[in-house]
Structure 1
Amino acid sequence: MIQTVPPTTAGAHDIRQIVERILSAGSLPPIVQAGHPALRQRAARFDGQLSTDELTRLIAVMRQVMHEAPGVGLAAPQLGIPLQLAVLEDQFDVDPDSASLRSRVPLEFLAILNPQYTQVGSGLASFYEGCLSLSGLQAVVARPDTVLLEYQTPDGAAEQRTFSGWQARIVQHETDHLNGILYLDRAQLRSLSSNAEYAAHWAEPGIENAREGLGFDDGPAGISLG
């Protein structure tokens, strides 16, 4: 069960210092792992803590870190920055059977600030999911298959956009990061697998064999956000 997530105690000055340190380092920052406090706090809403130039440079660094990892999304708390900012992009070449079953289509690069999502309809999809901040592990997560995302663009415009299929999963995963939630909080824990064991036993488009072999229910894990 997800307990009430505490807000970050970092103020604008603290956030700016962290970002300045990253931007001046001369190398890409590491992705922090589970146990880092920034991953377990509700990040601060972006309200001008960074200048336009700093925000633009930070987004560029985050995109590069995401590509290098490699991944399809990265949230600022994964770099130790308690700020509601995430980058998303999915241009991977995926097996056609997996892409079809998972409704996975390319996602053009997108930077989002202060996002919130709401479920559209009642459909759920259950698939294995991983995280760059939980290196080496995967687990099955049931998520809404369509969501409406409300967010701000880096230039300050308010946007609404509907995502479905794998894109909806990416959007939810990264928005959860900004609220101190890791995918394991929503996962069927009996499905938890190392990458090596997943590759050896469960690497297929669906989860039917994993569900039978590991003995889990692929419905939503009983959680509360209250």
Structure 2
Amino acid sequence: MGRPWEKLLALARGCGCAGQWVAGSAPPVEGPALRRPWARAVRRWLLQPPKPPYRRVCQVGEPALRAVAAPVDPAWLAGPEAQALVARLVHVMRAHGAVGLSAPQLGLPLQVIAVEFPERLLASYPPAVRQARRMAPSPLRVFVNPRVRVLDASLDSFPEGCLSVAGFVASVPRCRAVQIEGLNENGESVVWQASGWLARIIQHEMDHLQGCLFIDKMDSKTFTNVRWMEVND
């Protein structure tokens, strides 16, 4: 990915976040060794491993997903590296039809998130679901160094998934309304008050910046493989 990303990696590593186990959290669980076909191994050796921010979404097990994300220097936002990161974040989010994505999900533990709930995606839900979950559309919004304040602490519990825990959903309780403030991709201060489904999306992405996944807050009895019917058919 070239030299531009080296500054981003250095920024993340400067706070002890990139690719490291977070003290106080559970140590990483070792899985089976990755075995590659000979041709693929040679290709990897020639091209070198990819570096974050990746062009794909990291899956649970990636250390960056369990790290506390580092704040971003506002002056850095004017540079090409920041704009490239935001562009990649938005591109990957849209490519997966997602409504939110965080920099840690691309392997870079920095405090940057993107949220978008387009009309076309809203229309894909049945009217009863839209009403029950209090869904509303939202244009693309990018937040850097975001902070959240709860406006309505009443909890609603609805099914929730995550691109970093692909193939699974579970019910997660979330506050009904929140206010998020921070900087946008241009370094301008922005504030947004959101309720219902949009508030849920914000809380989900903010959790990523703390190394938290929805599986940490879910009702474990509702944890479901979305393909369970297909497997059993």
- TM-score calculated relative to the size of structure 1: 0.74
Alignment correspondent of 2:14: 11
Name the CA distance, whole Å, in 2 between partners of 1:22 and 1:144: 32
Alignment correspondent of 1:73: 100
**Which of 151, 156, 163 is matched with 1:125 structurally?**
156
4+ residue runs over 3 A deviation: 20-23, 48-51, 197-200
Aligned AA for 1:147?
A: V
Q: Which runs of 5+ in 2 are unaligned?
A: 1-10, 19-49
Q: Map Cα deviations across residues 39-80 of structure 1 (whole Å, 9 max, x no partner).
A: 001011011456522212221111111111121111000000
Name the CA distance, whole Å, in 2 between partners of 1:195 and 1:127: 15
Matched residue SS, 1:190: helix
Alignment correspondent of 2:80: 53
Alignment correspondent of 2:143: 112
**Which of 30, 34, 41 is matched with 2:60 structurally?**
34
| Structure 2 residue 134 is the aligned partner of structure 1 residue 97 | no
Which has the larger Rg? 2
CA contact (8 A) 1:139 1:192 kept: yes
CA contact (8 A) 2:159 2:171 kept: yes
CA contact (8 A) 1:131 1:183 kept: yes
* Change in 2 beyond 3 A, CA 1:42/1:96: same
Name the CA distance, whole Å, in 2 between partners of 1:121 and 1:164: 8
Alignment correspondent of 2:223: 192
| Greater relative contact order (CA < 8 Å, ≥ 6 in sequence) | 1
Name the CA distance, whole Å, in 2 between partners of 1:124 and 1:198: 30
Alignment correspondent of 1:168: 199
What is the CA RMSD across the aligned residues, in angstroms? 2.5
**What is the CA distance between 1:35 and its match in structure 2?**
0.9
Q: Map Cα deviations across residues 144-198 of structure 1 (whole Å, 9 max, x no partner).
A: 0101112111222222221101000011101110111101111111110011248
CA contact (8 A) 2:181 2:192 kept: yes
Matched residue SS, 1:155: coil
**How many residues in Structure 1 have an aligned counterpart in Structure 2?**
184
- TM-score calculated relative to the size of structure 2: 0.72
CA contact (8 A) 1:138 1:198 kept: no
* Change in 2 beyond 3 A, CA 1:136/1:156: same
Aligned AA for 1:72?
A: V
Q: Which runs of 5+ in 1 are unaligned?
A: 1-7, 201-226
**What is the CA distance between 1:38 and its match in structure 2?**
0.3
Alignment correspondent of 1:88: 115
Aligned AA for 2:223?
A: L
